[in-house]
């Protein structure tokens, strides 16, 4: 009996230790470390989101897709940081997805993009483009170079093709 009680006690200690070690390892990882680990999954999700956005945009029923994409992208940004092309090493679609953010998410997305820009995970132009949408698409986004203007032109050309 005594042996069983000691074993149970030690087992609880061991399980507690393992649980703490496991969870502390998860929390010790930075957004950048998590991003590097899961880049392929994020890229696949972004491609799927963009495809759904374009497909439903042609049909005129984008509200539900935009809502779902925005919710998932908020989760991705909270976990991994903004998935910008500079972090991917190739072109991502997060900015294009976020310029379709429904108004109910404007405040949340504004806080996220401000934090991501401050953390260096988002370029000035990506921030300006999304900020332009959130603030009513008035005038031109406040880009800091011609690369932002080229980004808008590419987006316009894609939309005309659809």
CB-based contact 97:70 (threshold 8 Å): yes
d(CA 124, CA 140): 14
User: SS3 of 144, please?
Assistant: coil
For 138-159, what is each residue's pLDDT tens digit? 888 887 765 555 555 555 565 5
Distance, CA of 158 to CA of 50 (rounded, Å): 12
* pLDDT tens sequence across 113-146: 999 999 999 989 899 999 999 999 888 888 776 5
Q: Is 66 exposed, middle or buried (0-12, 13-18, 19+ CB in 10 A)?
A: buried
| C-alpha closest to that of 78 among 42, 51, 125 | 42
pTM for the structure as a whole = 0.69
């Amino acid at each position: 009996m005594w042996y069983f009680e000691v074993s149970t006690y030690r087992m609880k200690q061991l399980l507690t230790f393992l649980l703490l070690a496991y969870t502390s390892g998860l929390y010790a990882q930075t957004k950048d470390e998590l991003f590097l680990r899961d880049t392929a999954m994020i890229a696949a999700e972004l491609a799927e989101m963009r495809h759904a956005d374009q497909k439903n945009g042609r049909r005129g029923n984008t509200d539900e897709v935009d809502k779902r994409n925005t919710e998932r992208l908020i989760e991705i940004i909270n976990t991994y940081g903004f998935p910008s092309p500079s972090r991917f090493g190739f072109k991502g679609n997060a900015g294009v997805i976020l310029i379709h953010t429904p108004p109910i998410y404007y405040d949340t997305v504004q806080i996220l993009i401000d934090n991501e820009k401050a953390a260096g995970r988002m370029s000035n132009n990506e921030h300006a483009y999304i900020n332009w949408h959130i603030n009513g698409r008035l005038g031109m986004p406040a880009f800091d170079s011609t690369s932002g203007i080229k980004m808008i032109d590419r987006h316009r050309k894609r939309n005309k093709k659809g």
